[in-house]
Structure formats: C-alpha cells, structure tokens
C-alpha cells in the first residue's frame, strides 16, 4: 500500500482500471467454469436417465415377449400340431393356430410376425417370415426362452428393412415316448424400435449420440442419423470396457460410456463429442470477451476525459502553489480560479481563503511591528526627557540634609519638616527598582503632602482608605504622585476655601488594583474634561510639551500604565465644575514578590 501511495494519480487510476478488467475476466472465466460444470452434470444426468429408460424398456419388453413365447410354446394345440403326422388334421389345426398366433401378436405392439417351425418340417407363420428364420433353428441354444438370435433384413415383407428375431425351442410336454423332445422352434420377429419403447430418443440434446446395440454391434435404435441395422465401424477395440472412455472416432474426440444389456446380450453406447459438448458455452465466452473488448475501447474515451478532468486542475493548482512558494510578492497577491469537480473547487476556494488570511495576518504583523517600534521610540523619548529634566539627585539629597541640620540648630521646625520630607522624596526616587509596593509609594505621598500642607497653610486635609491587600500590590514607581499633585494645584490652589483630598485603594475579585484620587476642589469645565480624555485615549506617538500644563503628568501616567499592562488599563477621570475631580487608576495584578 505504501508503494501505491507514492504513485501518481494517473498511474493509480490505470492500475484501478486494470484491476477492474482482471476482476471482470475472472468473473467471466469463473462463470464459464461453473456453467461448463453444470452442462457436464446435466449431460451426465441426461445420459443416465436415457440409458436407464432404454434399459428398463428393453427389460420390460423382453419380459412380455418371454411370457408370450411361453404361452405359445406350451399351448396344447401347438404341441399336437408339431407332432401330428396326418396332413388333414394339420390343416384343420392350422386355422385354430393362426387365430391363436394372431391373438398373441395383438397383445404386444411391435411384433411383426410369429413363426412356428417344426422339427419334422411343419411350420406356420402369420406374414410369411418362415422362409427367413427356418434356417436359424440350429443357432438357438437348448433350454432357453426368448433367446435373441440377431437382426436380419426382411426386404419389403414387413414394410421395414430390419427386424429383431427372438427364438424359443419347443419341447413336447405330454407323457410318452416324445416327452421333453425338441419338436420345433418358436420365432418372434419384432420392430427394432419397439424393443426400446415408444419414447422418442432421437433428441439431439447436448450433441450426444446414444446407441442401443445388439451382440453384433448393430444399431437397434439411436438418436443419431445412423440407420437401424448398421454396424458401428472403426470404434477402437478394447475401449468400450471403460465406462467413461475417451476415444477418437471419425477424427473427433468423444467421451464414451457403455452400459451392458444382458437381455439381448447387447449394450447401450453413449458418445458425446468433447468439443461440441461445450460449443455453445465457448461461443458465449467468445461473445462476452468480444463485448468486453468493445466496451473497453468505448470506455477509453470517457476514461481519458475523466483522468484529464482530474489531473489538469491539479497540475494548475500545483503550479500555482509552486509559484507562491517562491516568495514573489506580486504572485502572492494573485488568486487561483479552478472550474472543475467539486473537490478541486473547494480546494481552490480554501487555498484562496488561506492566502487571504495570510495576507491579513501579514498586514497585522506589519502594523504590530510598527506599533511596537513607535512604543519603543516613545520609551526612548521619555527616557531622554527624564534625563534632561534631572539634576544630580545625590547632590540635592546631600544639600537638603545639610539644610535640615541647620534648621534643627536654628529651631526652624517648618523648614526642618519640609526639608526632611523633600529628602525622603529624593531618597525614594533614587533608590530601589522601578516597581515598588504601594505602601512605599504612599509613604512618599505622605512626605509630599506634608510639604504642600505647609505651603498652603493647612487649607486642605488628606484621608487615606487603602486596604492591607492593596498596600502589598506592586506598582510602577512615582505613578501616584502626579495625580496628587494635579489635585492640589488644579483643585485647591485656585480657591481659598478649605478642601479635602481622598486617596483610596482596593483590589477586585479578578486581582486588579483600583486607585482613586478624589478632591472637592474647583473641578473643570466639560470641554476641558473631554480634551483631557481625548489626549489620554489617543496613541501617544510624541511626548506632550511643557506648555500642556498639568495634563502632562496625567498623560505620562496613563501612557506608562498602558505600556506596562496593556490598553485595557490606565487612567480615567470625571470632574464637575465647582464639585471636584476624581481620577481613577486601574492596574493589573503584580504582587511584590513578582516585582
């Protein structure tokens, strides 16, 4: 099977056609074999049945002849006629005997003549047969009944040329000197066909020849054209002893069967021509093979058409796939259209769909690469801007520590608090990684708020509502400070009334962190709110400029979150003019242990 799978479709179809032809030929020859066996068996059954009927009829007719001859032989008038010496009395007996013989003749159809021939020269017959059989008395064995003497020509005496002769010696039965002495012979002359019965055995069925032969091999009856009384000549001697002998006769081969018929010391011979026995089947087989050959020639045209119909679209498909495989972008944009059978049309459609999908995925890949390149470029710009805006943090930190020491010596508590808080902010910014627990970010926010509360003379208060689970959440460093700064400078600075600032943190069931910075300051107009929302939702391909005001912090925070966690995370805000502003951060789960 592996070998067949490697062959081309054309070769496989040719092999399939060859196998089909072989199977048809096997069926034809097998059918011929079965039919020849059936014909042979039917022939054998026909021969056996015919031979059995002929033999049965011969035996039956021989028994009838035997009884009739016994009746005549032991008749008293016949006995007296054969020993009577007075011619006058013989004449008177002749009339009665003629009537007796006539009555006996009518009891069996086919009896041509009955002849009584006496040893003393007296005789009597019905149709003049004595002249032919009188000389045969010496050939009749003693003490036999209905002995078959043979077949003899009688000219036109009985209307047929041949007759069968049966004889019975007549012995005197009366007590006396003549007791048990041979006094004459009784002859029956019969029509040959009557011996085998009245059935028609001349059928030419199966071309078999069946002959009923006497002891001299003369034909008594047959279903062939051999005349009655003819002698079968040139049959190989010694072959007839074989019940199923194969002989050659008249330049033909025959299957010969021989069955003996003891009643006439003859035989029944059946001869079937070997070639003619299956001649009709041979003609049928030749006709079937001829029809098969014609059908194959006729089927070559549609077979060739179907093969080409299958292979031509496949070749086009293979050529197209080879062209696409070479990587030619212009060829890659083309699509194949195949008009043919359903399977190849589906393959072409699916291939075109696959190429469309590849083209679409390639376009998406290019767009994704461009987007990643833009993100990387933005990151580099952010790093550059950050470096530009920095001064040496270690120098500032050391300077602030010196100012704190002087403030303690001079007793300036506010200066000490501000410088200490600012020092904490700088320490937080220059130490540690880029991702920190929320609690560290909150400590830095507390330092930042202390500075702003001193600056604004406690015009606002701060409330913290952050769960312990949220405090352990890992967040990007300096992500919360811009939001608190925005609330103080844009919510509380423009007004003189006291304000409140709420910083809340919680984690939902999906592990997301929600941070809220809410104030009750001045708020903003709807147009300004929509402008900020649009700037945060737009793709940030460039860093916002400094003149963008306080929005630069919000936009930067939003961009950082989206770059780190994905587009579904970031900053959202709501504001009501005169009612305050709420800024909400959504960050994906990232525990301290993952930082």
Strand order in 580-587's β-sheet? 460-466, 499-507, 513-519, 580-587, 570-576
The tokens describing 397, both together, are 């930190």
φ, ψ of residue 588 in degrees (nearest 5): -70, 160
Mean pLDDT value of segment 417-433: 78
Gap between the Cα atoms of 530 and 464, Å rounded? 28
According to DSSP, residue 183 is labeled E
Averaged confidence pLDDT in the chain? 79
Place of tokens 């072989």: 22
Nearest to 289 by CA among 39, 29, 37, 33: 29
Query: Residue 545, exposed/middle/buried by CB under 10 A (0-12, 13-18, 19+)?
Result: exposed
Pick the closest to residue 295 from 30, 17, 29 (CA basis).
Answer: 17
The percentage of the chain sitting over the pLDDT mark of 70, rounded to a whole number, equals 82
Question: Range with the lowest mean pLDDT among 73-82, 83-92, 482-491?
Answer: 83-92
Q: What pLDDT is stored for residue 516 in this prediction?
A: 95
Instruction: Specify whether the CB–CB gap between 561 and 587 falls below 8 A.
Output: yes
> Which carries the bigger pLDDT value, residue 138 or residue 279?
138
β-pairing, 209-213 vs 182-190, is unpaired
Tell me the two tokens of residue 383: 């790093």
Task: Report yes or no: 167 and 103 within 8 Å, Cβ to Cβ.
Answer: no
Least confident of 224-233, 292-301, 356-365: 224-233
**543, pLDDT greater than 50:** no
Mean pLDDT of the 25-30 span: 82
What is the percent of the chain with per-residue pLDDT over 90, rounded to a whole number?
12
The model's pLDDT over 89-114, given as tens digits with 9 standing for 90+, comes to 777 888 888 888 888 888 888 888 89
3-state secondary structure 47-85: HHHHHHHHHHHHHHHHHHHHHHHHHHHCCHHHHHHHHCC
Report the C-alpha gap between 230 and 218 in whole angstroms. 5
Task: Give the bridge partners for 348, in sequence order.
Answer: none
Name the pTM for this structure: 0.46
Is the pLDDT reported for residue 240 higher than 60?
no
Residue 228 and residue 219 in contact, taking contact as beta carbons nearer than 8 Å: yes
Confidence band, pLDDT 50/70/90 cuts, at residue 358: confident
Helix 279-325 vs helix 9-73: angle between axes, to the nearest 10 degrees?
A: 170
Residue 567 phi, psi (nearest 5): -70, -20
Q: Please choose, from the candidates 131, 266, 136, the residue with its C-alpha nearest in 3D space to the C-alpha of residue 192.
A: 266
Which residue do the tokens 């026995």 mark? 277
Cβ burial of 241 (10 Å; 0-12, 13-18, 19+) is exposed
Q: Tell me the sheet residues that pair with 165.
A: 150, 189
Q: Which long-range contacts (CB under 8 A, 24 or more apart) does 542-550 make?
A: 542/378, 542/381, 543/378, 543/381, 543/382, 543/385, 550/485, 550/486, 550/489, 550/490
- Residue owning tokens 């007996």: 93
**β-strand partners of 514:** 506, 586
pLDDT category at 202 given cuts 50, 70, 90 is very low
* Percent of residues in the chain assigned helix, strand, coil, to nearest 5: 55, 20, 25
User: Which residue in the block uniquely carries the two structure tokens 């049928």?
Assistant: 284
Average pLDDT over residues 33-54: 76
| Structure confidence by residue, pLDDT tens digits, 133-169 | 888 888 889 888 889 998 888 877 877 678 889 999 9
* Length, in residues, of the chain: 595
Rounded CA-CA distance 25/19 in Å is 10
* Mean pLDDT across 507-514: 90
pLDDT category of residue 330 using cuts at 50, 70 and 90: low
**Could you give the domains of the chain?**
1-277 (3.30.450.220), 460-594 (3.30.565.10)
Task: Give the residue, 592 or 514, on which the prediction is more confident.
Answer: 514
Of 177-186, 392-401, 415-424, 429-438, which one has max mean pLDDT? 177-186
The owner of tokens 């006058």 is 88
Q: Do 261 and 55 touch, CB atoms closer than 8 A?
A: yes
Residue 239 has pLDDT above 50, yes or no: no
Residue 155 dihedral angles phi and psi, to the nearest 5°:
65, -135
With the C-alpha atoms ordered 401, 406, 408, 412, is the resulting torsion angle positive or negative?
negative
Give the single-character DSSP code of 227: P
């Amino acid at each position: 099977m592996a070998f067949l799978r490697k062959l081309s479709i054309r070769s496989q179809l040719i092999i399939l056609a060859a196998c089909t032809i072989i199977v048809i030929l096997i069926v034809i020859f097998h059918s011929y074999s079965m039919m020849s066996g059936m014909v042979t068996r039917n022939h054998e059954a026909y021969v056996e049945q015919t031979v059995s009927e002929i033999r049965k009829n011969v035996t039956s007719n021989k028994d009838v002849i035997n009884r009739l001859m016994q009746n005549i032989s032991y008749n008293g008038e016949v006995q007296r006629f054969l020993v009577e010496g007075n011619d006058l009395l013989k004449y008177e007996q002749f009339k009665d005997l003629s009537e007796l013989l006539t009555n006996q003749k009518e009891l069996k159809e086919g009896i041509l003549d009955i002849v009584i021939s006496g040893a003393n020269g007296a005789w009597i017959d019905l149709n003049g047969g004595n002249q032919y059989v009188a000389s045969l008395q010496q050939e009749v064995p003693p003490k036999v009944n209905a002995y078959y003497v043979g077949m003899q020509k009688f000219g036109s005496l009985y209307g047929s040329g041949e007759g069968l002769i049966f004889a019975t010696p007549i012995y005197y039965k009366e007590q006396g000197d003549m007791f048990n002495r041979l006094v004459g012979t009784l002859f029956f002359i019969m029509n040959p066909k009557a011996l085998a019965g009245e059935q028609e055995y001349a059928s030419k069925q199966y071309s078999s020849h069946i002959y009923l032969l006497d002891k001299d091999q003369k034909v008594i009856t047959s279903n062939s054209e051999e005349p009655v009384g003819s002698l079968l000549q040139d049959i190989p001697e010694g072959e007839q002893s074989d019940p199923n002998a194969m002989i050659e006769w008249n330049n033909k081969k025959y299957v010969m069967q021989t069955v003996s018929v003891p009643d006439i010391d003859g035989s029944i011979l059946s001869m079937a021509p070997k070639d003619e026995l299956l001649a009709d089947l041979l003609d049928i087989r030749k006709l079937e093979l001829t029809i098969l050959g014609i059908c194959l020639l006729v089927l070559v045209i549609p077979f060739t058409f179907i093969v080409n119909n299958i292979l031509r679209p496949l070749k086009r498909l293979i050529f197209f796939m080879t062209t696409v495989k070479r990587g030619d972008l212009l060829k890659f944009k083309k699509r194949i259209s195949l008009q043919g059978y359903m399977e190849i049309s589906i393959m072409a459609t699916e291939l075109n769909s696959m190429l469309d999908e590849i083209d679409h995925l390639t376009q998406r890949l290019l767009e994704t690469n461009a987007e990643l390149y833009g993100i990387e470029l933005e990151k580099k710009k952010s790093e550059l801007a950050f470096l530009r805006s920095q001064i040496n943090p270690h120098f500032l930190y050391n300077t602030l520590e010196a100012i704190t020491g002087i403030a303690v010596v001079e007793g300036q508590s506010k200066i000490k608090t501000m410088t200490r808080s600012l020092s904490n902010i700088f320490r937080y910014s220059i130490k540690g990684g880029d991702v920190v627990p929320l609690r560290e970010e909150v400590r830095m926010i507390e330092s930042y708020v202390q500075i702003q509360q001193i600056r604004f003379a406690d015009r606002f208060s701060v409330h913290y509502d952050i769960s312990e689970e949220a405090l352990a959440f890992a967040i990007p460093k300096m992500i919360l400070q811009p939001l608190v700064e925005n609330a103080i400078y844009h919510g509380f600075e423009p007004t003189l009334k006291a304000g409140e600032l709420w910083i809340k943190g919680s984690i939902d069931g999906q592990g997301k962190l929600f941070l809220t910075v809410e104030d009750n300051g001045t708020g903003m107009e709807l147009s300004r709110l929509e402008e900020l929302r649009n700037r945060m939702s737009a793709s940030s391909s460039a860093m916002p400029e400094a003149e963008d005001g306080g929005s630069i912090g919000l936009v930067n925070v939003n961009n950082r979150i989206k770059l780190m966690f994905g587009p579904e995370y970031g900053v959202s805000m709501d504001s009501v003019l005169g009612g305050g502003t709420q800024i909400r951060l959504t960050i994906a789960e990232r525990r301290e242990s993952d930082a």
